[in-house]
Amino acid sequence: MAVEILTKDDLQQFKNDLFAELKKVIKDSPATTKYLQSFEVRKMLNISPGTLQHLRVSGQLPYTKLGGKIFYDSEDIRKMIEKGKVKA
């Protein structure tokens, strides 16, 4: 059984590789995507399709419709949540 010794350089390289992979995962995450589709918004907010439609129709959540698909700006979602925040 061979013994392998790790050096500080090995650990530094591992750290760099790990951070690069984490940045890639975070970048590809729906939460950081500029525009989200309806199913992503419903999953993120844990709401039904009817509730999402109500938010659209009532003007509480702006949206863009392109080619039959509805897109939501993640910043608009954040603002809607902040607006509804109850102060303690």
CA distances from 77 to 2, 12, 18, 52 (A): 55, 38, 30, 11
pTM of the model: 0.60
Of the pLDDT bands very low, low, confident and very high (cuts 50, 70, 90), residue 70 is very high
What is the domain range of residue 41?
Answer: 33-83
Residue 27 lies in a domain: no
pLDDT: is 21 or 62 the higher one?
A: 62
Does residue 1 surpass a pLDDT of 90? Answer: no
Nearest to 79 by CA among 62, 58, 56: 62
Residue 37 lies in a domain: yes
Q: How many domains does the chain have?
A: 1
pLDDT in tens, 10-59: 889 988 888 888 888 777 665 556 899 999 999 989 999 999 999 999 99
Q: Are the C-beta atoms of 37 and 73 separated by less than 8 Å?
A: no
